[in-house]
């Protein structure tokens, strides 16, 4: 039996380790951050499963992976002993009357992105009021995307840690390691460090790994009830609102080409919270719990990659960008299938038949 070290205990690393152990493979996990995942990009994320809405900007490959992953998440959550909120109520796209031209542009982008007609439903004001009563009278129409959903990302990170520990996986939290540190002790190393692997990924590589900064707010708004994520189309401040349990809402909008890990600026905070207030004024009374930043590991083509090197006994998984929760089950599932073939000494196909992801052999 192969003995495997998974390097990086964020979302991808935890999912990878969990699935490998389910296959009967001996695994140890190494993560430089804490057990709660606070240093991982996933800790900040809204954890929306929104392949239709993301079709406006994401690549066709990412949309395909996102659609596959919703059912995979349902199965994974069902195998976890620790409760995780998974909601499949779709998502709602709204806009103010003066911004209606943005809705036509958004619909065109959805069509170009391959979103089927049954995946978008127009709601008028009455339908919005019936399905989201607290938005009654605030928007004249909207687009409902019924196939989408969301998770509580922090619950997922905790539940995966619980599962690994219950499966007797040695999880080395607050333990920073490099591939070279582990190579002599394990049969294979699987590097899932995301942005933390930038130096080794880019040495050399055709695909360049960089960090893209995101800024996300968390608020407690006991007066607000939403049944699904809501996205506001706005020419300057587009944003999403993801309702979690106990009146916690995760709000995000920004995508900045910067690798700065400084705290959020006053200006970006004002823009984010002003757009939130424009959705419903009761958000003005909410408690601001966090205004956090994170770097999303991004490749120049905006698709994830799975690379392997037989000689070094190394598998690398990276480039999930801002779509970590949306696509991670499909990506890590493909990586697990690659690992199984490598451990067995089998020939490796050019791509994973289930996900469509290519397997990239590296020479160094």
Going through 19-161 in order, the beta strands assigned E by DSSP cover: 26-30, 48-49, 86-87, 91-95, 121-124, 141-145, 149-151
Consecutive H or E run containing 180: helix 179-183
Which pLDDT tens digit goes with each residue over 335-354? 999 999 999 999 999 999 99
Task: State the chain's mean pLDDT as an integer.
Answer: 95
Q: Range with the lowest mean pLDDT among 52-61, 109-118, 144-153, 296-305?
A: 109-118
Which pLDDT tens digit goes with each residue over 75-124? 999 999 999 999 999 999 999 999 999 999 999 989 888 898 889 999 99
1 pLDDT band, cuts 50/70/90, is: low
Give the DSSP letter of residue 40. Answer: S
Contact indicator for 273, 288 with CB cutoff of 8 Å: yes
Give this prediction's pTM.
0.96
Which pLDDT tens digit goes with each residue over 56-82? 989 999 999 999 999 999 999 999 999
Nearest residue to 244 (alpha-carbon basis) of 257, 226, 262: 226
d(CA 292, CA 286): 17
């Amino acid at each position: 039996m192969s003995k495997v070290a998974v390097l990086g205990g964020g979302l991808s690393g935890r999912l990878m380790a969990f699935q490998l152990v389910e296959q009967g493979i001996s695994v140890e996990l190494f993560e430089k951050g804490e057990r709660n995942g606070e240093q991982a990009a996933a800790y900040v994320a809204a954890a929306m499963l929104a392949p239709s809405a993301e079709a406006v900007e994401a690549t066709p490959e990412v949309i395909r992976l996102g659609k596959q992953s919703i059912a995979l998440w349902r199965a994974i959550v069902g195998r976890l002993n620790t409760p995780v909120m998974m909601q499949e109520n779709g998502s709602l796209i709204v806009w103010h009357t003066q911004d209606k031209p943005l809705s036509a542009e958004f619909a065109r982008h959805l069509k170009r992105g391959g979103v089927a007609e049954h995946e978008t439903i127009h709601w008028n004001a009455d339908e919005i009021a019936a399905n989201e009563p607290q938005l009654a009278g605030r928007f004249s129409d909207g687009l409902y995307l019924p196939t989408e959903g969301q998770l509580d990302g922090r619950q997922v990170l905790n539940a995966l840690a619980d599962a690994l520990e219950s499966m007797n996986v040695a999880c080395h939290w607050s333990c920073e390691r490099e591939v070279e540190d582990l190579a002599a002790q394990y049969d294979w190393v699987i590097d899932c460090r995301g942005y933390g692997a930038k130096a080794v990924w880019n040495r050399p590589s055709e695909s360049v790994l960089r960090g893209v900064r995101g800024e996300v707010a968390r608020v407690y708004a006991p007066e607000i009830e939403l049944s699904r994520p809501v996205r506001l189309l706005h020419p300057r401040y587009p944003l999403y609102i993801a309702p979690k349990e106990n009146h916690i809402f995760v709000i995000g909008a920004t995508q900045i080409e910067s690798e700065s890990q400084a705290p959020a600026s006053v200006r970006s905070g004002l823009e984010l919270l002003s757009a939130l207030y424009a959705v419903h004024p009761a958000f003005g009374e909410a408690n601001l719990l966090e205004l956090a930043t994170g770097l999303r590991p991004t490749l120049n083509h905006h698709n994830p990659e799975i690379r392997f090197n037989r000689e070094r006994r190394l598998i690398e998984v990276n480039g999930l960008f801002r779509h970590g929760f949306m696509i991670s089950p499909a990506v890590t599932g493909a990586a697990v299938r690659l690992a199984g073939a490598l451990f067995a000494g089998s020939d490796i196909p050019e791509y994973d038949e289930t996900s469509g992801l290519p397997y990239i052999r590296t020479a160094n």
